[in-house]
Every structure is written in structure tokens, then in C-alpha cells.
Amino acid sequence: MSTSVASTVIRTVDPASGGTLAEYPLDGAERIEGALARAAAAFPSWRDAGFPRRSALFAKISAYLRAHKTELGTLITKEMGKPLVEAEAEVEKCATGCDYYAKHAVEILADEHVRSNAAESYVSFNPLGVVLAIMPWNFPFWQVFRFAAPGLMAGNVAVLKHAANVTGCALEIERIFTRCGAPEGVFTTLVVPGKDMESIVADPRVAAVTLTGSEAAGGAVASAAGKQIKKTVLELGGSDAFIVLADADLDAAAATAVKARFQNTGQSCIAAKRFIVEAAAYDAFLQKFVAAARNLVVGDPLERGTQVGPLAREDLRDAIAEQVRETVAGGARVALGGSALDRPGFFYAPTILADVEPSMVAFRDETFGPAAAVIRARDAEHAVELANDSSFGLGGNLWTRDIARGRALARRIETGAVFINGMTASDPRLPFGGVKKSGYGRELSHYGIKEFVNIQTIWIGPAQGAASPAPPAE
């Protein structure tokens, strides 16, 4: 295992070498109690601080992230193996998210006046309080800032429980908030094992929970929060379809397919995973896809020329290897790769499996690593049917030159997002989230910032004239 959690210590491991990076003491009961008490105490003043003060904080954080992009990117790369160029881009994206909400939160959360029989009536958006954020390792900075920028700009305060193998990133994020002037308790990191989360979720000072992670983790947290009647937002796994119709620009589709599958070594919930290709274009697309993927540079993630690094943990490499073995045993054909690399660290060759069928593991399960499943569809209707034949519904792609047809087909794809002739990605200006077992709720855009607010109706009398017909008051 790349990260081991003993009774008192978390040990982080370099996925490129297998060597130990650092050891961190776990927080005990006294530290957890203090963190929750400080967060609860900080909330009223942060709620009342106003948008100018909160915007000033996130403007400072944005500038800090950009000024320290290489340093922070190196930390990300060392802890979870992402190629350095991608890690730096992740830090830059965090800065962009901070900028967006620093600028737009005030207008997004402005009171909305509504005409009614009141002298005045409006809807206000008020923060909930302490929000517990349970975050994964694959985008260790962006996943946190994706919640923190809108959540804290709305006036909430945050307590972070990050994945064990990126504990250094988790503590560094807390330090960034402190260095940039966040009051004590506004953003706190806890170093605790997953088994301790139920009691923290249940703590009455925690108002709501946001989680990005596995289906199992989401189910456990939703259950614990549900028992306490607490709001949750879940962004879980994905098995995104990448549909290529016969009239698509195959060169563009294949080039994007390589990035969509192998970016972050394939360790992304919204990575394209199932490449569903209309029969008339299947052979040509597969050939172009394999040719492009064969040129990927696999190596030391700290070297700027590297495009594919190691998987984040040894068990993740072993899991993708087993999924590939089972899929091939089921009748799929290895068109590229198909094995772990004989070198230190947790490397697996970029892999493309052809002739995958819906009954096979690489179709049915989420593959969290550098392995692509290519599936033949009879026609466009069959392609959409195959795309929807999944327990997940996060994102997806559709490639066609007929945009009107693409719009119509996109509405029938059961996912939180569909990108036509482009790569699925999160964007602060657009809502992000899924359906089915990919979770519920939305992050980002004006939808995301309103997930953790009390949408409150304010009615001021006296009543003006006759009210519209309504059922009796409850």
C-alpha cells in the first residue's frame, strides 16, 4: 500500500518510487474537539464579514497559488504521481476558481425580489455554518478549492478531511488560508482515518457534508448524515461514454480521446472510459486512437516531458491490472499495452482494449487507471443505449459534425454533463455533478454555491390586496 494508517500515524509514499515521503501524527480526540469548536466559533463573524472581506481573502489566495504554482505542483506530484505539468495546471485552475467566486459571489447570492401579495417579498441566501468536506486524492488541490471557493464565499466555514495519501497537500492548503489572512477556524484540516468520520458527521456543530469519492464512501457518509437530517452533496464515480458517430472528425476525436482517457494517468471521475464508436467508423477510429496513445511519454512525473506517471497507490495499479485481465479473459482484445511496467513505482502501461462487450468488466465497472475500453455500436441509437447502460451518470462526450443531431442525442444521455466535440471538464462557470450512482447535488456555477445556503423567504406585510389562491396554511 502506498499509504498506511497505523494507530497513531499516517505514512505517505512516493508512487514513482515506492519510498516513504513523510509520516504525520493522527489527530486525537482533543485536537478534533478543538478544531470543531474553533470552526463553530468562527462562523458567526465570517458569516457577517460581508462579501468585500471574503473576496479580498480569495483574491489573496489566488495570487498566492499562482506565485507558488511550481512548488505546490511539485508537492502534488510527489504525493500522488500526477505529471508536474498537469499538477501546475491544477493549481492554476484553483486560482481561476477563487477569482470567479471572489468576483461573482455577491451578485449570485444577491436577494431575489419576488412580486407577491406582500408589501415586499424576497428570497435571501444565507450560509449554513460548518461544512465538512471529505475529499479524494486524485485532484488534491482542485477538489478542495472546488468546494471551498463557493462555500466560504457564501459565508460558511470548512473542516477538511482529505485522503490519507495526500496529507501533505491537505495541511498545505490549511497553511495557505492562514498565510493569506483567513481568521482562525474558517478553514481547518483534520488528519483522521475514515473510520472516525461517522462521529464527526454526527457532531451537532457540523451543518452539512460534501464528499467527492467512491460509491462506497458516498453511501456511508450519506447514511450517517441522513440519520442526522443533514444536507449532503455527493460527487462519486463515473464511467463516462465517449461516443463517436460515423460523421465525426476522427482525427480530432482520437486526439481528444487520448487526453480524455490518459490525463492524470486515467485517475479521474470524468475521464472518458467507454469509447462507443459507430460501426462505420470503428476500425478507423481505433487505429487513430492506438497510434496517438502509443506516442505517450511514460516516466518520472517530475520531468516536464512526462505525460503519464504512476498510479497513486500500489493497490490501484493492481486493481486496473486485474480489470484488464478479466476483460481480456472475457473476449476483449489488447490493442495497446495491457501490463504493468517493470520499473520501481506503481506504473501501468497506457492500455486500449478493443471489441469490449457490455458484459465485460471494463464496461460494467469504473476503471480508475490508464485503460480504455472500445465498444462497437450498430448506429447512433445503439450508441446512446450503450452509453446509458451504466449505473453511473457523471459526464460524457459526443462527436458528430451534425450539431442539431448532437443536441437532440445529448438530451437523451443520462449524465450530469455532455460535451459535444470537446473534452469533458469542470468549469467554475458551469454546474458539475451527476445522476444515478455518480451522486447528487451540484458543484460550481451559481447552482453549486447555493447548495450550502439556506434559501430563505422573507415576507413583509401588510398584505397588498387579495392573495393568490393557495392551500390552507400548515
pLDDT of residue 4: 43
pLDDT of residue 5: 43
pLDDT of residue 171: 98
Closest CA to 316 of 264, 373, 241, 391: 264
Closest CA to 331 of 290, 370, 359, 350: 359
Closest CA to 308 of 292, 284, 324: 292
189 forms beta bridges with 160
Active site includes 94? no
Q: How crowded is residue 231: how many other Cβ atoms within 10 Å of its Cβ?
A: 16
Backbone angles phi, psi at 116, to 5 degrees: -150, -165
Q: Are 46 and 158 in contact (CB under 8 A)?
A: no
pLDDT of residue 2: 38
Q: Per the structure block, which three cell numbers stand in for 206? A: 457540523
Sign of CA dihedral 133, 97, 78, 82: positive
Given the residues 172, 269, 278, 451, the one annotated as active site = 269
Pairing of strands 130-134, 206-212: parallel
Q: Are 201 and 232 in contact (CB under 8 A)?
A: no
Q: For residue 347, what is the enclosing H or E element?
A: none
Cα–Cα distance, 352 to 292 (Å, whole number): 11
Pairing of strands 351-354, 240-244: unpaired
pLDDT of residue 3: 42
Active site includes 414? no
pLDDT of residue 438: 98
Residue 72 CA, chain-centre distance (Å), reads 19
Given the residues 235, 366, 443, 451, the one annotated as active site = 235
Q: For residue 445, what is the enclosing H or E element?
A: helix 445-449
Specify the pTM.
0.95
- pLDDT one digit per residue (tens) for the chain, 474 residues: 334 444 789 999 999 999 999 999 999 999 999 999 999 999 999 999 999 999 999 999 999 999 999 999 999 999 999 999 999 999 999 999 999 999 999 999 999 999 999 999 999 999 999 999 999 999 999 999 999 999 999 999 999 999 999 999 999 999 999 999 999 999 999 999 988 899 999 999 999 999 999 999 999 999 999 999 999 999 999 999 999 999 999 999 999 999 999 999 999 999 999 999 999 999 999 999 999 999 999 999 999 999 999 999 999 999 999 999 999 999 999 999 999 999 999 999 999 999 999 999 999 999 999 999 999 999 999 999 999 999 999 999 999 999 999 999 999 999 999 999 999 999 999 999 999 999 999 999 999 999 999 999 999 999 997 655 555 555
Sequential DSSP letters for 376-405: EESSHHHHHHHHHSSSEES-EEEE-S-HHH
- For cell 458567526, the residue is 44
Furthest-apart CA atoms within the chain: distance in Å: 80
SS (H, E, C) 321-345: HHHHHHHHHCCCEEEECCCECCCCC
Q: Is 118 helix (H, G, I), strand (E, B) or coil?
A: coil
First-residue to last-residue Cα distance in the chain: 56
pLDDT of residue 471: 57
pLDDT of residue 7: 72
Residue type, 308: V
Strand order in the sheet with 130-134: 187-190, 157-161, 130-134, 206-212, 231-235, 439-440
Domains along the sequence of the chain with CATH: 4-236+438-457 (3.40.605.10), 240-420 (3.40.309.10)
Q: Are 112 and 123 in contact (CB under 8 A)?
A: yes
